[in-house]
């Protein structure tokens, strides 16, 4: 796309399309089908892990905000 940003497909849609392609590709030895199926599976696993890490990060940030409001601070400096 010239002069603008290309529209990005959602990860879920991309994964679904890759699963469909994995079954629809015409390949004599099935290598292309297997490669696309594996890529779809890996993308799905990474997408789930990223979502999990984002949720954990959000929870830790919320805890940190609460600790800061409560005056509970952490430092890397040695205490006397």
Q: Would 4 be classed as within a structural domain?
A: no
50, containing H or E segment: helix 31-69
Q: Would 33 be classed as within a structural domain?
A: yes
pLDDT values of the chain reduced to their tens digit, one per residue, 80 residues: 566 778 899 999 999 999 999 999 999 999 999 999 999 999 999 999 999 999 999 999 998 888 888 887 666 666 55
Domain, as residue range, for 39: 11-69
CB atoms within 10 A of CB 25: 15
Domain count, the chain: 1
pLDDT at position 77 is: 66
Q: Would 76 be classed as within a structural domain?
A: no
Q: What phi and psi values does residue 62 have, to the nearest 5 degrees?
A: -65, -40
Q: Would 6 be classed as within a structural domain?
A: no
This prediction has a pTM of 0.71
């Amino acid at each position: 796309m010239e002069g603008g940003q290309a529209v990005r497909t959602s990860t879920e849609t991309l994964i679904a399309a890759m699963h469909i392609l994995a079954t629809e590709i015409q390949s004599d030895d099935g290598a292309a089908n297997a490669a696309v199926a594996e890529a779809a599976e890996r993308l799905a696993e990474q997408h789930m892990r990223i979502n999990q890490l984002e949720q954990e990060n959000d929870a830790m940030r919320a805890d940190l905000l609460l600790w800061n409001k409560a005056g509970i601070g952490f430092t890397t400096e040695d205490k006397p």
